[in-house]
Amino acid sequence: MKSVRPIILVHGGAGPRAMTSPQGDCLRAALQVGYHLLDRGSSALVAVEQTIRVLERSGLFNAGTGAHLQLDGVRRMDASIMEGERLRAGAVASIEGIVHPITAASRVMEETDHVLLVGPMATKFARHFKMERHRIGTRPRRISYGAMLRQGRSARDRHGTVGAVALDQAGIVAAGASTGGIDRMLPGRVGDTPIIGCGVYAENETGAVSMTGLGEGIMRLAIAKEICDRLRQGKSPAQVARVVLQRLVTRIQGTAGALVITPQRRFTIAHVTPNMAAGWWDGKGEPTVKDRFR
């Protein structure tokens, strides 16, 4: 069987802020890690996880060591991963105190019959498998719930959620994402990232998608699955992403960006925000990394 030339896409969030030079360097490094794994025959699933781990560890994005604090002063994170051959998926939500939520999500997929674990039990699951912990913990703030509610009403999306999609030599696609949420989150807030079909989706009949942006809008339209369903009609990833993201804007004034790849190696990076820190690499030349894709 003839092998497919692999390719990997990565993002570091979509929003109003321009990508910084350190963020760009980190995205390039992550692409190199992911592609070299694919080039040596690793699965798309492994490449996606390891690529996202680079970004989680960096502290430069709203994920892993750089995750935002919720309004009570606690860092709670979400992540998910999915592969397109057997539709296996794993996710965690509101997990605390670990460096790599994406690996916790992967372990949920590999070690259990479940898809999603949440809260303290997700944290306990990660600790059972001795996953690396944050060196600096977070302590709850003394603030009334009423005050948190008032602050939460002015929540904003910021640059930072990370994700990746990949196509491996076997022609299998995978997608993943990891986040610390948005500014001024109510404790326990969960966005689109750990919700399969919203923040990520992957199936070999259509393609793989990793989303970033304001999760409340992405969830309401189940954007990742919507993109995959439209790919089934034979349209290009660029056409589909443009239509679906524009519907997000016109229908509910949402904001988002998307990575999309198909088993036929067609791909796009699209966003309806001023910027989206993202890039791709297929092993030729240097990785492409920038913060605007039009």
Question: How many H-runs (helices) and E-runs (strands) does the chain carry?
Answer: 8, 12
Which residues, 6 or more positions from 7, have their beta carbon under 8 angstroms from its beta carbon?
Answer: 35, 38, 166, 167, 261, 265, 267, 280, 281, 282
**Other CB atoms closer than 10 Å to residue 141's CB: what's the count?**
14
Which bin fits 97, alpha (ψ -120 to 50), beta or left (φ > 0)? left
For residue 230, what are the CA distances in angstroms to 57, 94, 205, 221, 269? 34, 31, 11, 13, 16
161 as an active site residue: the answer is yes
Catalytic residue from among 51, 161, 179, 212: 161
Six token digits for residue 11: 């993002």
Q: Give the whole-angstrom CA distance, residue 83 versus residue 183.
A: 30
Taken in order 25, 30, 33, 36, the sign of the CA dihedral is negative
- Asked if 109 and 196 touch (Cβ cutoff 8 Å), the reply is no
Residue 120 DSSP label = H
**Other CB atoms closer than 10 Å to residue 236's CB: what's the count?**
14
For residue 116, what are the CA distances in angstroms to 33, 95, 131? 27, 11, 17
**Other CB atoms closer than 10 Å to residue 128's CB: what's the count?**
10
Catalytic residues: 161
